[in-house]
Chain A
Amino acid sequence: QVQLVESGGGVIQPGRSLRLSCAASGFTFSSHVMQWVRQAPGKGLEWVTVISSDGSKKEYVDSVKGRFTISRDNSKNTVYLQMNSLRAEDTAVYYCARVDILIGFTDYWGQGTQVTVSP
């Protein structure tokens, strides 16, 4: 069965960096577009970034452009989110998610990892 397991979250000071990882299993990882979605405290879901199956194309929400970088290692079935210059407003649960091959909706999600940006 499809499994997505995030790691790397924690408490971090503003301006610092953090790297999240998402280990995938149960499907052909290299065939799927992958994305990160976050949920700030008391807020709804917000799409953050997406990476193509071969890693050549990436898109970001405006609020993280220039600070966050998505990448993937298809040999390790892992997708990463490098977060630099973190701000208090980046505090959220970050979910790794898989995109359906044919149509493009998000079909599977991980359990999420908490990132708290606080002095």
Chain B
Amino acid sequence: DIQMTQSPSTLSASVGDRVTITCRASQSISHWLAWYQHKAGKAPTLLVYEASYLEGGVPSRFSGSGSGTEFTLTITSLQPDDFATYYCQHYNRHSWTFGQGTKVEIK
């Protein structure tokens, strides 16, 4: 089974900071990766799919990159609404595997 590993687990940052979250796959997954934002008590929301395609309505300060085994989610200028937990997900139509999550906290 493919394992997804995110780093860091927790990230402390200030409004306006550039933030980068990394997701590594235990074997190549091509570009079959999505990123989600999750706030406590709410439904997760899709940010990026196919590693680098921004979902409609998602602010342009979010971007995704990578292929194969290493992927990144970047927030270019952190906003107050961005403090949340972020998950990567590998999908292959038979199973969906999440990273363990990265909590972005206020510094």
A interface residues (Cβ-Cβ under 8 A, vs B): 4, 33, 35, 37, 44-47, 50, 59, 61, 95, 99-100, 103-112
Of the candidates B42, B91, B92, B98, the one whose C-beta lies within 8 Å of that of A45 is: B98
**What separation, in Å, do the CA atoms of A111 and B40 have in the docked complex?**
10
In the complex, which residue of chain A has the Cβ closest to the Cβ of B96? Answer: A47
Contact B87 A111 (CB under 8 A): no
Residue-wise interface mask of B (27-38) relative to A, using a CB-CB cutoff of 8 A (1 in contact, 0 not): 000001010101
Task: Report how far A44 CA is from B32 CA in the complex, Å.
Answer: 20
Most A C-beta atoms less than 10 A away, residue of B43, B87, B92? B43
A111–B44 alpha-carbon span in the complex (Å): 8
Among B16-24, B45-53, B70-78, the stretch that binds chain A is B45-53
Cβ contacts A to B, 12 pairs, < 8 Å: A45-B98, A47-B96, A47-B97, A47-B98, A50-B96, A61-B95, A100-B49, A103-B49, A103-B50, A104-B91, A105-B50, A105-B91
Residues of B within 8 A of A100 (CB): 49
> Which residue on B lies nearest to A46, using beta carbons?
B98
Per the bound structure, the CA–CA distance linking A44 and B6 in Å amounts to: 11
In angstroms, how far is the closest chain A Cβ from the Cβ of B55? 8
**Whose C-beta in chain A lies nearest to the C-beta of B87?**
A45
Contacts of B93 in A (CB 8 A): 33, 104
Please tell me if the beta carbons of A106 and B91 are within 8 angstroms of each other in the complex. yes
* With known contacts A44-B101, A45-B101, A105–B49 Cβ distance under 8 A: yes
What residues of A have a CB within 8 angstroms of the CB of B32 in the complex?
Answer: 104-105
Contact B46 A106 (CB under 8 A): yes
The closest CB in chain B to the CB of A57 belongs to: B94
Q: Contact: A95 with B101, CB < 8 Å? A: no
Inter-chain CA distance A35–B44, complex, in Å, is 14
